[in-house]
Every structure is written in C-alpha cells, then in structure tokens.
Amino acid sequence: MQTALEQQIEALFDAKPARYTDEDRKLFCEFKNDLNAGRVRSAEPDASQKSGWRTNTWVKKGILVGFRMGTIVDMSIDPEKLPFLDKDTYPVKHFAVSDGVRIVPGGSSIRDGCYIGRDVVCMPPMYVNAGAYVGDGTMLDSHSLIGSCAQIGRHCHISAGTQIGGVLEPVGALPVIIEDDVLVGGNCGVYEGTIVKSRAVLGTGTILNRSTPLYDVVRGKVYAATDTEPLIVPEEAVVVAGSRALPRGVGKDWGISLYTPVIIKYRDAKTDTKIQLEDLLR
C-alpha cells in the first residue's frame, strides 16, 4: 500500500507544474529528510526478488523532482577563490558531532539527500551523491566516488580511487549495491546496477558492469547480467582483474586478450587476516 508521501511524490513527478509552490517545496523537504535519515531508500533488500533487492521507483522519482524544482544559487564559501553554483535543493549535507561520522579535513563533499551511518569514516577527498546510502562503520577512502542512489552496506571498505556507480535514469533501474562486509580494492569500478554480495572481496583494479561476464574458476561457472537481472557477485567471492584470450579470428592470430574479472577463491581465514580493518583507525 502506498504511503501518503509516496502518492504525493508520484503525483508531483507525473504532472510537472508551471511553477513549484511553497507546498511542493515543503513536500520535497519532507522527502529529503527521510532520505537523510535512511527511512526511505532508492533500493532495499527484498527476499522475494531473485537478486535479493528491489528498486523503489518512487524514491528515485522524488530525487529527480528535487533536481527539477531546484534553482541554481551561489553556494560558494569564497566566490572569487572557490566558486560553487548548484541547485538550491541539494546543498552540502550538514552533520553534527552527535551523528558519529568522521569527515577528515581535506576537501570531501557529501550532498544532501543521502544517508551516512554512524562510525562512517570519510577520507579526503571523496564524494557521495544524492540518494546514496552508506551503512554503519564503512570507510570511504580518498578519491572514492559514491554515485547517486548507490547502496553501500555496513562495515565495508571502499578503497582509494574507487568508483561506485549510481543510477537515476531510467527510474526503474536498480542502482549499484555493495552489501555488508565487502572490501572493494583501490581503483576498482562497479557500475550499471551490479550487486556485490556480502563479504566479497574485489582486488585492486577490478571492473564490474553489465557487459563483462564474471568467470568463477573455483565453481566452474560464468556469471553475467541479463535483460532483467544485473551481474551478481556471489557471497565471499574473491575477485581479481584477469584476461581471456580471443578464441577466433584476427584477434586470436594477434594474441589479443580481453579484460575479464575472475573469481580465484572464496573467502577464508587467510583472506580475513589479510584484509582485516584496524579498529584503531576508527
């Protein structure tokens, strides 16, 4: 059953007014407050779905409404030396000490309308876009980018230089999802609705998207996205960047290989020791 907020957001998305009223902006602020508090999410766990997740299309519509109704304003701390001009509906997110979030000085930016859990550590410079969800105890390392609507679980480590893609359009598309206790190594890229299941490990430089199959040399399987389902990385899989030789034609004659991610093992005690996060850093 739809909530009143959901019904109102759907109506505002479907019937764009000639001018947004104060009531429309009040509605959006209520919606954005729920995003900030984690009460609504663009995607959430759903055991009835094959992927284990469902898209909340109305939430993504609400985020788009915010962009549509916003007007460009000057958000600069110093307009001469460091100008910032953006939609007034999405300023920088405000934090208090009581929120329990560490934002280390050095140029990070977190946009309003996203959830950042307790004990999250933000190493500069990093960026979180509107609609994202970052669970408790996760570390976002330097130069990590969390895209709009991306869902990051609890106690994850998103390493330096990593891009976690998001998706606002099409509104029905599933965003990138990183479940609990996942380690994403440096300079990785996870895109196009890929789901990384809990306790998986992505080695440095791994790229995951809808176009590239994932080869599991442990279980002898190949995982790939379909027209209706995203690429899903199994629980506790350890994935590294690999290559696969072209099997025919000029590519074979020239000895060309294509990039492919490979599951080389599943997480064990040795893996846990290697990737253990130091509690003292928190």
Domain 95-270 has CATH 1.10.238.10: no
Q: What is the pLDDT of residue 267?
A: 94
Kindly give the pairing relationship between strand 163-164 and strand 189-190.
Answer: parallel
Look at residue 278 and tell me whether its pLDDT is greater than 80: no
Q: Is the pLDDT of residue 271 over 80?
A: no
pLDDT of residue 235: 98
Backbone angles phi, psi at 13, to 5 degrees: -70, -45
pLDDT for 263 beyond 90: yes
HEC string for the chain: CCCHHHHHHHHHHHCCCCCCCHHHHHHHHHHHHHHHHCCCCCEEECCCCCCCEEECHHHHHHHHHHHHHCCEEECCCECCCECCEEECCCCECCCCHHHCCEECCCCCEEECCCEECCCCEECCCCEECCCCEECCCCEECCCCEECCCCEECCCCEECCCCEECCCCCCCCCCCCEECCCCEECCCCEECCCCEECCCCEECCCCEECCCCCEEECCCCEEECCCCCCCCEECCCEEEEEEEEECCCHHHHHCCCEEEEEEEEEECCHHHHHHHCCCHHHC
What rounded mean pLDDT belongs to the chain?
Answer: 94
Q: What tokens does 280 get?
A: 């003292």
Return the higher-pLDDT residue of 188 and 82. Answer: 188
pLDDT in tens, 25-50: 999 999 999 999 999 999 999 999 99
Quote the pLDDT of residue 164: 98
pLDDT, tens digit, 9 for 90 and up, residues 99-121: 999 999 998 999 999 999 999 99
**Dist. CA 146–CA 158, nearest whole Å:** 9
The pTM is what?
0.94
pLDDT (0 to 100) of residue 97: 97
Q: Is the pLDDT of residue 282 over 80?
A: no
Identify the band that residue 167 occupies on the pLDDT scale cut at 50, 70 and 90: confident
Interatomic CA distance for residues 205 and 105, integer angstroms: 27
User: What is the Cα 33 distance to its own chain's centre?
Assistant: 19
pLDDT band at 172 (very low <50, low <70, confident <90, very high): confident
Query: Taking the domains of the chain in order of start, what are their residue ranges?
Result: 4-72, 95-270
4-72 and 95-270 have identical folds: no
Q: What is the pLDDT of residues 209-252, one digit of tens each?
A: 999 999 999 999 999 999 989 999 999 999 999 999 999 999 89
- Record: fold of 4-72: 1.10.166
pLDDT at 168: 84
The residue length of the chain stands at 282
pLDDT of 186 over the 70 cut: yes
Cα distance between residue 262 and residue 239, in whole Å: 5
Range with the poorest average pLDDT among 177-181, 223-227, 235-239, 270-274: 270-274
- The whole-angstrom separation of Cα 221 and Cα 266 is 13
Label residue 96 by pLDDT band (50, 70, 90): very high
